[in-house]
């Protein structure tokens, strides 16, 4: 089905003068999912989001959102009618009050949800008559989120939604997002540096590095696939050449050999037995470890 993906990019490229921000990005976000979009600083997350929302023109490749071509001006307007966005800076119009900001935004969305507006005004404890410029970053984030959640949007695109928030406020925002998806059957695509947040609410992840997707899939599937096998020897650990598929990294440290596999533990264990270790343990791998591995960083 052509529209099964809420977001799809094919070989998407974006060059700013001498900098290539996106280098053939392929992305597929299923409708109804909560997809965490991870990457290092400068990996291309914000550029991707801007391309998806028609704020930046791609150099080449395709970006489709809700089945529409993001780079066609008329389609882009329709995408933004059906999509809500919260930017990284959480900047709104300083000259308006919270109430004016809500009325201003609501005027553009025929499916504006007054019931959700009332609910989130209460839940987030937002001061309707306070000017935006006097609000803290956390409160601005909540206003931005209210404006996003009440649009009746099919897709929410959030750039670092919890950045700069204290843990309590971040938790409140995450719970609101999860609740929204459960109630409204929307798709959420959010970038974040907070891997714990992604692990908490996402059901799929896409990790990009250097403008390319380096890993993508359902979180459960990744957790299932990725395993660390710890082998302990009664002598210095050997330096074997594993032939098993999916070996991502082998690390020796004294008598311990640690093998990270992206194809489950069994093939590694089969090979490891021949090395005669005194113990073999299979350890689940966290999303943080998977991320660090995907972007080739030492944890």
Q: Where are the beta strands (DSSP E) in 179-220?
A: 187-191, 204-209, 212-218
Instruction: State residue 194 phi and psi, 5-degree precision.
Output: -85, 90
The least CB distance from residue 214 to other proteins, in Å, is 24
> What is the rounded CA–CA span in Å between residue 49 and residue 158?
8
CB 150 within 8 A of CB 186: no
- First-last CA distance in the chain: 40
Q: Which is nearer to other proteins, 39 or 144 (CB)?
A: 144
CA–CA gap between residue 142 and residue 148 (Å, rounded): 10
Binding residue for other proteins (CB under 8 A) from 10, 19, 77, 185?
A: 77
- By CB under 8 A, is residue 74 in contact with other proteins? yes
Residue closer to other proteins (CB basis): 71 or 293 = 71
Looking at the Cβ atoms of 95 and 297, the one nearer to other proteins is: 95
Among 90, 142, 180, 228, binds other proteins (CB under 8 A): 90
Checking DSSP bridges between strand 212-218 and strand 227-232, what pairing results, if any?
unpaired
Residue 93 near other proteins by CB under 8 A: yes
Confirm or reject binding of residue 75 to other proteins (CB under 8 A): no
Q: Work out whether 162 is an interface residue with other proteins (CB under 8 A).
A: no
- Residue 53 binds other proteins, judged by CB under 8 A: yes
Asked whether the beta carbons of 89 and 71 are under 8 A apart, the reply is no
Q: Specify the DSSP class assigned to residue 22.
A: E
What's the CA gap between 83 and 186, in Å, rounded? 10
Indicate whether 55 belongs to the interface with other proteins (CB under 8 A): yes
Q: Which stretch binds other proteins (CB under 8 A): 70-78, 161-169, 241-249, 262-270?
A: 70-78
Joined tokens for residue 79: 């995408």
Q: What is the x/- site pattern for other proteins, positions 95-124, by CB under 8 A?
A: xx------xxx-xxx---------------
Task: For residue 94, state whether it binds other proteins (rule: CB under 8 A).
Answer: yes
Q: 22 to 51, contacts with other proteins by CB under 8 A?
A: 50
Q: Is 292 helix (H, G, I), strand (E, B) or coil?
A: helix
Which stretches of the chain bind other proteins, using CB under 8 A? Answer: 16, 50, 53-57, 73-74, 77-78, 80-81, 83-85, 87-96, 103-105, 107-109, 144
């Amino acid at each position: 089905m052509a529209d099964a993906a809420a977001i799809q990019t094919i070989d998407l490229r974006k060059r700013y003068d001498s900098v290539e921000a996106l280098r053939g990005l392929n992305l597929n976000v299923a409708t109804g999912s909560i997809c965490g979009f991870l990457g290092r600083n400068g990996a291309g997350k914000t550029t991707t989001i801007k391309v998806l929302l028609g704020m930046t023109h791609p150099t080449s490749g395709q970006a489709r959102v809700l089945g529409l071509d993001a780079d066609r001006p008329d389609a882009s307007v329709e995408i933004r009618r059906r999509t809500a966005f919260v930017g990284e800076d959480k900047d709104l119009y300083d000259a308006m009050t919270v109430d004016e900001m809500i009325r201003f935004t609501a005027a553009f969305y025929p499916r504006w949800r007054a019931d959700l507006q009332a609910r989130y005004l209460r839940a987030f404890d937002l001061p309707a008559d306070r000017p935006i410029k006097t609000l803290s970053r956390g409160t601005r984030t909540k206003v931005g989120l209210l404006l996003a959640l009440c649009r009746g949007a099919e897709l929410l695109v959030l750039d670092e939604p919890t950045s700069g928030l204290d843990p309590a406020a971040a938790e409140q925002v995450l719970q609101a997002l999860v609740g929204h998806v459960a109630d409204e059957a929307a798709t959420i695509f959010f970038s974040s540096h907070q891997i714990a947040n992604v692990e908490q609410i996402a059901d799929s992840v896409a990790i990009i590095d250097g403008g390319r997707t380096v890993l993508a899939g359902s979180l459960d599937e990744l957790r299932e696939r990725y395993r660390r096998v710890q082998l302990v020897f009664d002598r210095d650990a050997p330096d074997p050449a594993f032939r098993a598929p999916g070996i991502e990294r082998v690390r020796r440290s004294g008598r311990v050999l640690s093998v990270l596999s992206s194809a489950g533990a069994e093939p590694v264990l089969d090979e490891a037995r021949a090395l005669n270790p005194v113990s073999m343990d299979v350890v689940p791998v966290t999303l943080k470890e998977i991320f660090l591995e995907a972007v080739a960083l030492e944890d």
